Amino acid sequence: MALHHIEPERATLHGRFSRDLAPALVIDSGDTVRYRTLDVTWGMEQHGAPGQPRKKFEPRRAELDDGPALHGPVAVRGTKPGMTLAIHIDVVQPVSWGWTWVGPSPFDAALKEALGVAGAPEIVLRWRLDTETMTGVSEHGHTVALRPFLGTMGMPPAEPGLHAGWPPRRTGGNMDCKELVAGSTLYLPVAVPGGLVSVGDGHAAQGDGEVGGSAIECPMERVDLRFVVHDDLCIEAPRAHTPNGWVTLGFGETLEAATAMALGEMLDLIESAFAVPRTEALALASVAVDTRITQLVNGIVGVHAVLPAEF
C-alpha cells in the first residue's frame, strides 16, 4: 500500500466542502496519506496579544476559503455514493504550540449571554505543547494532558455548490469529537464519487462540548490517515471504533435532535452487532451507553453516544 503526502499549499487548501472541487490527490483503497496542517484559522505562528496580527497563509480566495483551513480533498478510487469510507487514524502529532481563544462569536452568542460573558473582552491562552510528556502548559502555568485529534474530517454532501466548513453533517466535517484520537477508525457514509475527503482543525486537547468556542487549537506536524473503502457496509451517519469503544455521532439544530440521531445510529449498531430487536437494543443502550455533548459552538450542535469497549 502506498504512502502519500499533503503539505499546506495553495493547491491543497480550501475552506468549504464541495463535490465540484478537483482532488488534490487520488489514491487507492488501503493507501495512507501523511498530512502536515495549518491551524483552523489558517495560522502559521503562535498568537500574540489579543487583537495583534499574526502570520496566516496567503493568498486566500474570497469565497472558497471562507471557513476553516481544510486540507485535500483526497479522492479514493472506486468510492461511490452509498458506500462507506473508513479512515484509520494512525498518527496525530501536534506542533510545539497552540492557543485557546474566547470572544464574540455568532455561533454561541446565546450561550455566552447565559454564562454572563457576552460582551467581555476576548482572551487568548497560549500553550507550550510537549509531545514527549504529552502535556500542555499555558503562559499562566495551567497544565493539561494532551489528547490530540482532528476536529474536522469529512466529505461533501451530494448537492452541488459550496458548503460551509463550520457545521458538521451526515458525511462528517467539523464534528469536534475528542474521541477520534490515534488508534481510532472513523466510518463515514459516501455521498459523491471518490469521496473527496478534507481534514483539518487540529486540537491538542478539548473538553466535551468545546464550551468556550475553541479547544487548544494547533497545527499538526504529522497526521497519518489510512483510507479503506467498504462496498458492503451502508451507514447513514458517522460512527467510529475508538480505544474507548464504539461511538455514533448525531447533529442537529437542538440537542434533542442531535441526541435522537446519535442514539438512532447506536441502536442500528447494537441491533446488528448483537442480533437483537430494536426495543431490546434500546434497553441495552439505557444500561450501557453514555450520551455526551460533542460540541455546542458550530451553529449545528453535536452529540455522541458511546458503547464501552468492555461491553
Q: Which CATH number belongs to the domain containing residue 34 in this structure? A: 2.60.120.580
pLDDT computed for residue 146 by the predictor: 98
Calculate mean pLDDT across residues 71-99: 98
Q: Residue 133: which domain range? A: 3-235
| Upstream peptide bond of 23 is cis (omega within 30 degrees of 0) | no
Q: What percent of the chain has pLDDT over 70?
A: 100
Q: Indicate whether 110 pLDDT > 90.
A: no
pLDDT computed for residue 119 by the predictor: 86
- Domain assignment present for 261: no
- Domain assignment present for 31: yes
Calculate mean pLDDT across residues 172-200: 98
Calculate mean pLDDT across residues 172-188: 98
- Domain assignment present for 280: no
- Domain assignment present for 260: no
Report the half-sphere exposure of 148 (CA within 13 A, side-chain side): 32
Q: Indicate whether 166 pLDDT > 80.
A: yes
- Domain assignment present for 311: no
- Domain assignment present for 297: no
Q: Indicate whether 210 pLDDT > 80.
A: yes
Cell 469521496, located at residue: 195
Cβ(221)–Cβ(202) under 8 Å?
Answer: no
Calculate mean pLDDT across residues 163-186: 98
Q: Indicate whether 184 pLDDT > 90.
A: yes
pLDDT computed for residue 302 by the predictor: 98
Distances (CA, A) of 257 to 109, 136, 216, 253: 20, 35, 28, 7
pLDDT computed for residue 53 by the predictor: 87
pLDDT computed for residue 219 by the predictor: 98
Cβ(263)–Cβ(256) under 8 Å?
Answer: no
Q: What are phi and psi of 280, to 5 degrees?
A: -70, -35
Task: Supply the angle between the helices 255-274 and 278-288 in degrees, to the nearest 10.
Answer: 110
pLDDT computed for residue 273 by the predictor: 94
Q: Indicate whether 103 pLDDT > 90.
A: no
- Relative to beta strand 239-242, strand 135-138 is unpaired
> Sign of the C-alpha dihedral, residues 228, 233, 236, 240?
negative
What integer best gives the mean pLDDT of the chain?
96
Rounded Cα distance between 306 and 201, Å, is: 23
- Domain assignment present for 164: yes
pLDDT category at 49 given cuts 50, 70, 90 is: confident
pLDDT category at 52 given cuts 50, 70, 90 is: confident
- Domain assignment present for 283: no
Q: What percent of the chain has pLDDT over 90?
A: 90
Calculate mean pLDDT across residues 272-300: 96
pLDDT computed for residue 253 by the predictor: 96
The tally of domains found in the chain comes to 1
